[in-house]
Structures are given as C-alpha cells and as structure tokens.
Amino acid sequence: MLRNLFAGKLQSGGLSVNIFTDDELEQIHFATIEVLKKTGLFIGSKEAREVLDGGGAIVDEKTKTVKFPPYLVEDAIRSAPSKVLLAGRDPKHDIVLESNRVGFTNFGEGVFVIDPYTGERRETTKQDVADSARIVDYLDQIDVYERAVGASDVPEQTMQLHNAEAWLPNTTKHGFMGTGNGYLTRKIFDMAAAIVGGKDALRERPILSTITCPISPLQLVDESCEIIMESAKAGIMVNVLSMAMAGGSSPVTLAGTLVDHNAEVLGGLVLNQLTAKGAPFMYGSSTTAMDLRFAAATVGCPECAMINAAVAQMARYYLLPSWVAGG
Amino acid sequence: MIGKETLEEAKQAIINYDKEKAVQLTEKVISDGVDPLEIMNNGFIPGINEVGDLFGRGVLFLPELVQCADVMKTVTDIINNALPSQENAEEKGSMVIATVKGDVHDIGKCIVVALLQANGYTVYDLGRDVDTDRIIEEAVKVEADIIGTSALLTTTMTRQKELEEALKSIGLRDKFKTIVGGAPVTGRWAAKIGADAYAEDAQDAVLKVKELLAS
C-alpha cells in the first residue's frame, strides 16, 4: 500500500487559549480608538506634548490632555517592529521575540525580602538586587532578568543608578528595569554602553530594556513620557506596562478594563514611534481585577489570567512583542 | 424625641446606602421641629459605625462602603445646613490630607477621605503630587489637628520623612499629629520617621484618627 508524501501541509502544535474571536478583538480595538480620539490621555511631559502635537495629535495645554486621530495610532502600530532581539552580555543568552514565541522572566519589583540566611523579613538592599540577578542568571528556566527588588539603602534620587550598577555585572542575560526618569535613563544607557563598547554597539545589541507604567485611568506622567522618549532615541526597547485595576482604576468589566489598558499602551506607542519611528516597543500588562473587599491589587486572580490571555492576543493582533504578569 | 423605629430606619438607611430613605427621614425630622442632631447621633452615626465594622469584616465591599459614605455625607450636609450656625455638629476634629509630591496615586486616599468625612471629621483634601511646604502651609491656615500623607511609591515615600523634618525645623512639630499610609508604608516606617500613627486602610485610618484626637 502506498502512503505518498503530502503536497504541502499546515501544522499545529502547542496549546493556546483564544479568549477572543477576531471580530471581538476588533471591537476592543475600535473602542480604544474611540477613547483615544474623543477622550484622549493625560500627558504630563511638555516635551512629549510637543512631540505629539508635531505628529498630528490634538493637544490641550491647559488640561495637558492629548487626543489621538485614529491614523496616528494605526501608523504607530504598523511602524513598530514585530521582531525584536534582546541581547545578553553573553550572546548565548540572546533571545528573539517574534510571533507567539513564549519566554519566561522573574517578576519585580519587591520591596521586602525574607533574608535567606537569617529568615528575617526586611527591606531590600542594593546587595539583594545584585544577588537576585545572580540567582536568575543561574536558572535555565528564566530567559530574561527583570529587576526583582530595589535598593532601599541608597538615596532615593539615584536609586535606579544603584540598581543598574548592582544587576548589570551579575547576570549575562538581558535585563529589564524601570529607569526612573529621563535623566536617570540616559545615565543608565551610558552605563550599558560602557559595558558593550559604545552607544552604537548598544543599539545593535541592547543588553537591557526599560519599563514604565501608565497610571490608570488614561494617564502618562512626566517620568513615563521621558522614559518612552529616551528609549526610542537610543533604540532601546521600552515595555509600556499598564496596571489597570478593574473596579478600581478602570471599568469593572474586563472588556472595559482592556480598552482602558489598550488606550494607555497605544498612547505610549504613538509617543514612542513619533520620537523615533521604528523604535522597538513592547506591549506590557500587569492589569488585573481589584479585590473589592480589601481595595487590594491582586496579581494572580483568575481575572488576571484571563486578561493576560486577552493581552497576548491583542499584542498578536498588533504584531507587537508582549509581556504579561504572573502570580 | 424620635421614636426607636425611626432611629433604626435611619441606621439601616446608611447600611443599605438608601439615599432617598435617609434624606426623607432627615427632612421629616427637620420639618417636625425635632433636633436633627438626635437622628444624627442615634441613627446615622451608629449606622456608619456598623458599615465600617462590616467592611472591616469583609461583609461589605468597597463599592458599598463608598456609597454608604456618600449617603452619610448627604444627610450630614442637610443637617449642618439646618442647624443654627454656632451649633454645628460638634467639631470632631480636622485633618489635612494629600498624596505626596511626585506621586499621583490617590484611589486609597480618596477612600480614606470619604470614610473620615462619613464619620464626622472635617477633611481638607489637597489632592495629589502636593509639595511638602504646601501641605504644612494649608495645615497652618486651617488650623488642622492632623496632617495625613499617602504615598504609593518607595521613591516618594521619603516625602513623608521630609514632612516630619520640615515640621521640626520650623518648630511646628508639636502643633500637629501626623499619620501616614500607602502601599509601601508600614508601622515600622512610621516609627522610623517619627510619624504619630500609621493606618493600613481606610477603616484603620478612622480608628487611628479617633485615637490621635483623644490623646
């Protein structure tokens, strides 16, 4: 009996949770476009408002509100790269983000730690930052490092510089960190450039990415805008990571929360692409439901998982790399 | 003298966040010429106290707490307007509150304000991203009893320490009681910076404010 070769075959593999149909995803997208067009975002930085104004957004200087014509948003989605290289100080740790390839990271950013030697619950220090990087460096299952904890034993105005100094030498994996504000971001990029051999080398092989968080509902404060713009200028990927809390800082419905989240991230994307078209950008989420009994943010509840699945699907729809929160 | 039944109805109107009912009862008391403070002290206040208790026990949730506080505020305003001016509902105490400079998170603070007001305290809410100097200036201006600050970020928490030091350096530390709150804030932090109290959540804030004013 002959079993001949197939002339071309579509293959499947793995497992996915598809929260939306394409039509439903489109509804979320169009709702977002409407919000960005009619309500807009609060943009705290004057320079950012100028960039957005120059790009065609509608700026109200008095209220610091910016409204986005739909084409601006869609252009930005199109120009941001769908495939991004995150380099490690050691190339064996390089990782490519594309399509629905999945990777894992540790999460951040803790402020307390249970001392591994004394068992005491205490505030985290610069040494803890260094140690956490080292642990993550060792664990094969973790693909990239995120600054796990912060240094509480250093001056607050330069904390991010100390954090960078602590983790950069202690892992050869790519690292993510919140970089505080524009000034500190530039300094941290200088530090990374010194390690890899210059700004151009850093752009070629970026050993770090930045993270910044919009404030729900619909706000990008000064520092967030600065980080988005500095990252774009340096060719470093920025992870605009929203943490809307359903019932607290965004509508209680998950769909409404997603629209709010989406508007914030896409607003950040427009700013990023208008600063430097083609800059790498990541769609981030820690969005979850608020526990309405205790007014607490619950990252690890079932709604968080559903939102994560939704965010991953939305990012795929936009052909952007994404990052979602774990428990 | 207001009947027991009416007082019970008033209490329940707060617990069930039934604004219409609460207003109706209040207006009837006023039009009957009865002292509205009686329904406040023996009806509405026990109501809001029980609301706080139920919230603390996880029986009432945040949206209900906020709605109950809203009903309480409505009837409080009606009653205060009905009283001859010098006889305003006994001033329980006043507080200036703000989210510190550099920080724009204020959901928690707003809940604290709502609950404190519902419990009869006068609260001056300065909003968010407020300069330490301005907080002190306002507190002096309104002769507040307490200064409360909220911070969500470890990087802005230090403004709470700045406030303590500013008060000391201008010799006003003894004039106010200070209370701190916010996600990264702890009792230990409060003790470290010399704040008078730490509140973990809105209900705790009410308890701590009561204690601070009694001391």
Average pLDDT score, chain A? 94
Is A235 inside a domain boundary?
yes
Q: Tens digits of per-residue pLDDT, B52-66?
A: 889 888 899 988 988
pTM: 0.88
- Assess whether pLDDT exceeds 90 at residue A196: yes
Question: Which of B61, B105, B154 is opposite residue A150, by nearest beta carbon?
Answer: B154
- Assess whether pLDDT exceeds 60 at residue B78: yes
- Assess whether pLDDT exceeds 70 at residue A271: yes
Higher pLDDT, B83 or B213: B213
Residues of chain A with Cβ-Cβ distance to B62 below 8 Å are: 247-248, 290, 292-295
- Give A84's strand partners: A97
Residues of chain B with Cβ-Cβ distance to A150 below 8 Å are: 154
What is the residue-wise DSSP string for A42-99? EE--HHHHHHHHHHT-EEETTTTEEE--HHHHHHHHHHS-S-EEE--SSGGG-EEE-T
Residues of chain B with Cβ-Cβ distance to A215 below 8 Å are: 104-105
Name residue B128's amino acid: R
Domain that includes residue A58, residue range: 22-324
Is A289 inside a domain boundary?
yes
pLDDT value, residue A198: 97
Mean per-residue pLDDT, A33-43 = 98
Is A290 inside a domain boundary?
yes
Question: Which of A111, A221, A249 is opposite residue B154, by nearest beta carbon?
Answer: A111
Residue B86's pLDDT band, with cuts at 50, 70 and 90, is low
Question: Which of A111, A156, A295 is opposite residue B62, by nearest beta carbon?
Answer: A295
Is A184 inside a domain boundary?
yes
Helix (H) or strand (E) holding A177: strand A175-178
- Assess whether pLDDT exceeds 70 at residue A216: yes
User: Long-range contact list for A45-50, CB < 8 A, 24+ apart?
Assistant: A45/A220, A45/A221, A45/A222, A45/A225, A45/A226, A45/A229, A47/A225, A47/A226, A47/A229, A48/A220, A48/A225, A48/A226, A48/A228, A48/A229, A48/A271
Q: How many CB atoms lie within 10 A of CB A193?
A: 17
Is the minimum CB–CB distance between A159 and chain B shorter than 8 Å? yes
Domain boundaries in chain B? 4-87, 94-214
Is the minimum CB–CB distance between A298 and chain B shorter than 8 Å? no
Least confident of A118-122, A147-151, B9-13, B90-94: B90-94
Q: Tens digits of per-residue pLDDT, B153-172?
A: 888 899 999 999 999 999 99
Residues of chain A with Cβ-Cβ distance to B158 below 8 Å are: 156
Average pLDDT score, chain B? 91
Are B107 and A221 inside 8 Å of each other by CB? no
Cα–Cα distance for residue pair A97/A248, rounded to 1 Å: 32
Question: Which of B58, B104, B184 is opposite residue A293, by nearest beta carbon?
Answer: B58
Measured CB to CB, residues of chain B less than 8 Å from chain A are 58, 61-63, 104-105, 107-108, 111, 154-155, 158, 184, 201-202
pLDDT value, residue A125: 95
> Percent of chain A at pLDDT above 90?
85
Chain A residues 160-199 with CB within 8 Å of chain B? 180
Q: Tens digits of per-residue pLDDT, B88-140?
A: 556 789 999 999 998 988 888 988 998 898 888 999 999 999 999 999 999 99
pLDDT value, residue A327: 55
pLDDT value, residue B102: 87
Residues of chain A with Cβ-Cβ distance to B159 below 8 Å are: none
Q: Tens digits of per-residue pLDDT, A154-176?
A: 988 899 999 999 999 999 999 99
Question: Which of B58, B105, B201 is opposite residue A215, by nearest beta carbon?
Answer: B105
Mean per-residue pLDDT, A36-49 = 97
Question: Which of A156, A159, A295 is opposite residue B201, by nearest beta carbon?
Answer: A295
Are A292 and B63 inside 8 Å of each other by CB? yes
Q: Tens digits of per-residue pLDDT, A102-114?
A: 999 998 888 889 9
What's the CATH architecture for B4-87?
Orthogonal Bundle (1.10)
Is the minimum CB–CB distance between A135 and chain B shorter than 8 Å? no
pLDDT value, residue A307: 94
Cα–Cα distance for residue pair A286/A186, rounded to 1 Å: 26
Residue A18's pLDDT band, with cuts at 50, 70 and 90, is confident
Residue A294's pLDDT band, with cuts at 50, 70 and 90, is confident
- Assess whether pLDDT exceeds 90 at residue A10: no
pLDDT value, residue A76: 98
Are B111 and A159 inside 8 Å of each other by CB? no
Please count the structural domains in chain A: 1
Mean per-residue pLDDT, A261-286 = 98
Is A152 inside a domain boundary?
yes
3-state SS of B112-157 is: HHHHHHHCCCEEEECCCCECHHHHHHHHHHHCCCEEEEECCCCCCC
Is the minimum CB–CB distance between A150 and chain B shorter than 8 Å? yes
Cα–Cα distance for residue pair B147/B179, rounded to 1 Å: 6
* d(CA B92, nearest CA chain A) in Å: 27
- Assess whether pLDDT exceeds 60 at residue A225: yes
Cα–Cα distance for residue pair A281/A271, rounded to 1 Å: 11
Are B184 and A111 inside 8 Å of each other by CB? yes
Question: Do B4-87 and B94-214 have matching folds?
Answer: no
Residues of chain A with Cβ-Cβ distance to B184 below 8 Å are: 111
ipTM for this prediction: 0.76
CATH label of the domain that carries residue A98:
3.20.20.480
Given 3.40.109.10, 3.40.50.2300, 3.40.50.280, 3.40.605.10, which CATH number is that of B94-214? 3.40.50.280
- Give A96's strand partners: A85
